[in-house]
Amino acid sequence: MGTVGAALIAQVARQREALAARCGRPIEVVAVCARSRTKNRGVDLKSMKWFSDPVALAREGDIDVFVELIGGAGDPARSAIAAALGSGKSVVTANKALLAKHGVKLAALAEKHHVALNFEAAVGGAVPIVKTLREGLAGNAIDRIYGILNGTCNYILTRMEQDKMAFAQCLQEAQRLGYAEADPTFDIEGHDTAQKLSILASLAFGSKVDQRAIYVEGISSIAPADLAAADELGYRVKLLGVAVKTPKGIEQRVHPTMVRKDSAIAQVMGVTNAVTIDADGIDPLTLVGPGAGGAATASAVLSDIGDVARGVRTAPFGRPTARLTSVRKAPMQRHEGGYYIRLQARDKPGTAATIAKRLAQQDISLESIVQRHGKDERPKNGSVPVILITYATTEDAVRKALAAVGRDRVIFGRPQVIRIEKN
């Protein structure tokens, strides 16, 4: 009964007649559960039965559907959902953390009791990506799915680019506006995106949900210089969650990524979410919309409830849990693609030749090289920023080349490396 719960109750009341017409029967909220009974939530709860224990509500005999909006990967959300499924009730949840950790087991329980486990709101807010993958593209083989799955990070990167602000300043602004938590680590270090990606990868490729199989890197290292360089080179930096089918298996990764400015995903700014799907037989499909907030999330929850009311029930992850395949964490060393590399190089003769030699030793070809000499960019330690854009190469080759450059002592500090996503 937080922001989303209150928004859901209000939307059910507003759409009562339309829902009955669309679903063939009325939808009514008959019981609720929350910590505080006296808190003013802006909705009328007088006609609803009150529970202090969510597990007791889940087992209540008079309800058809249990809606879980508690959050968290453990109890009480997990016990309440298991109780509802075990007593033959369908469940609608927005809990990405729980699904990322226990989704397969809960899906198996739903299958055992022949009830629905719906979770459109767990990924992308109002963006209907779960149903698109599970139902709309059931006849298409998917090659890659990638997207902006965290509005906080996208807001920070947008402000850094547009207003030339430092990361720390943008983060403070995001916290002030309520886009970022007091402890923003889960968002800015990529873990929220990883949980959502694990769910999408399962739907797209028929694999078990496993957040541990995802390489994760956040945005805290991104500097205004990276965004300025990206702009000059025709790119924009986004935190992407990417799952792609490769000859070595399913590669799942979360990291800052350069995307071409003329791509659909690059146009998505602020707190908005977007997901692009590459599938056989169709051009890339991009879904864009609000990824968080009470009204947006409640919209997705109510859509799932409507499916239950209509009698629609599909396997939670698109196929029976027994047919979901195991997935291992693909070593990032095997990743192939283009790279942006920013170095603080010693401003002396031979430095560029040394860097080029180390790249050549790893068969890395350069698409462009930019050496900046602006007075505002030249540090006092006698170095100059050098920006390299590579053609497609491997992560292993890049790491080995940069390690050799470091041993040559021709650069200061740690190189900045951002992967370039083909789109």
Residue 362 lies in a domain: yes
- Label residue 291 by pLDDT band (50, 70, 90): confident
Q: What is the pLDDT of residue 422?
A: 82
Tell me the pLDDT tens digit for each residue of 227-243: 999 999 999 999 999 99
User: Is 325 a member of any domain?
Assistant: no
Does pLDDT of 44 surpass 90? no
Residue 229 resides in a domain: yes
Boundaries of domain holding 370:
332-420
Strands (E), 59-162: 65-68, 90-93, 117-118, 142-148
Say if residue 121 is in the same domain as residue 133: no
pLDDT at site 373: 57
Mean pLDDT value across residues 71-96: 96
Mean pLDDT of the chain: 92
Inform me whether the pLDDT recorded for 45 exceeds 70.
yes
pLDDT at 156 over 90: yes
In DSSP terms, which residues pair with 346 in a beta bridge?
A: 383
Residues 108-125 have pLDDT tens digits of 999 999 999 999 999 999
Q: 146 and 280, same structural domain?
A: yes
Give the pLDDT score at 333.
67
Nearest to 57 by CA among 67, 44, 47, 42: 67
Q: How many domains does the chain have?
A: 3
Q: 349 and 396: one domain? A: yes
Q: What is the pLDDT of residue 374?
A: 53
Residue 381 pLDDT class (50, 70, 90 cuts): low
Mark whether 170 and 101 lie in a shared domain.
no
pLDDT for 239: 97
Catalytic residues: 196
On the question of pLDDT at 188 being above 90, the answer is: yes
CATH number of the CATH domain containing 24: 3.40.50.720
- How confident is the model at residue 96, as a pLDDT? 96
325-335 pLDDT per residue, tens: 988 777 776 77
CB contact set of 400 (below 8 Å; sequence gap of 6+): 362
User: What's residue 248's pLDDT?
Assistant: 78
Confidence of residue 46 (pLDDT cuts 50, 70, 90): confident
Q: Is the domain of 233 the same as that of 302?
A: no
CATH number at residue 410: 3.30.70.260
pLDDT at 328: 76
Q: For residue 310, name the pLDDT band (cuts at 50, 70, 90).
A: very high
Does residue 323 sit within a domain? Answer: no
pLDDT digits (tens, 9 = 90+) for 250-270: 899 999 999 999 999 999 999
Give the per-residue pLDDT at 348. 86
Pairing of strands 336-346, 411-420: antiparallel
Do 275 and 346 share a domain, yes or no?
Answer: no
Please check whether residue 324 lies inside any domain of the structure.
no
Q: What is the pLDDT of residues 53-70, one digit of tens each?
A: 999 999 999 999 999 999
Residues 303, 366 within the same domain: no
Q: Which helix (H) or strand (E) holds 393?
A: strand 393-394
What tens digit of pLDDT does each residue of 174-187 get? 998 888 888 899 99
pLDDT, residue 37, reads: 81
Percentage of the chain beyond pLDDT 90 is: 76
> What is the pLDDT averaged over residues 372-386?
65
Predicted pLDDT of residue 331: 73
The reply to whether 120 and 150 lie within a common domain is: no
Q: Are residues 257 and 361 in the same domain?
A: no
Looking at the fold, whether 212 and 134 belong to one and the same domain comes out as yes
Cβ–Cβ < 8 Å for 65, 305: yes
Residue 89, pLDDT score:
97
Residue linked to tokens 């068969």: 363
In a domain, 22, yes or no: yes
Is 322 inside a domain boundary?
Answer: no
Residue 353, burial from CB neighbour count under 10 angstroms (0-12, 13-18, 19+): exposed
Domain with residue 262: its CATH number is: 3.30.360.10
Is pLDDT at 134 greater than 90 in this prediction? yes
Domain co-membership, 122 together with 169? no
Which of residues 277 and 179 earns the better pLDDT score? 277
pLDDT of 261 reads 94
Average pLDDT, integer, range 280-284: 90
- DSSP classification of residue 266: G
Could you tell me if 194 and 264 lie in one domain? Answer: yes
Per-residue confidence (pLDDT) for residue 379, from 0 to 100: 53
Query: b or e along 281-295 (b: 16 or more beta carbons within 10 Å of the residue's beta carbon)?
Result: eeeebbbbbbbbbbe
Residue 250: phi and psi, rounded to 5, are: -90, 120
Q: What is the pLDDT of residues 203-228, one digit of tens each?
A: 999 999 988 899 999 999 999 999 99
Of 84, 70, 78, 83, the residue nearest 99 (C-alpha): 78
Task: Fill in the amino acid letter for 415.
Answer: P
Strands 249-260, 31-33: pairing is: unpaired
- Strand-strand pairing, 249-260 and 215-216: parallel
Residue 103 domain-assigned? yes
**pLDDT recorded at residue 41:** 84
Cβ-Cβ contacts under 8 Å for 14 (sequence gap 6 or more): none
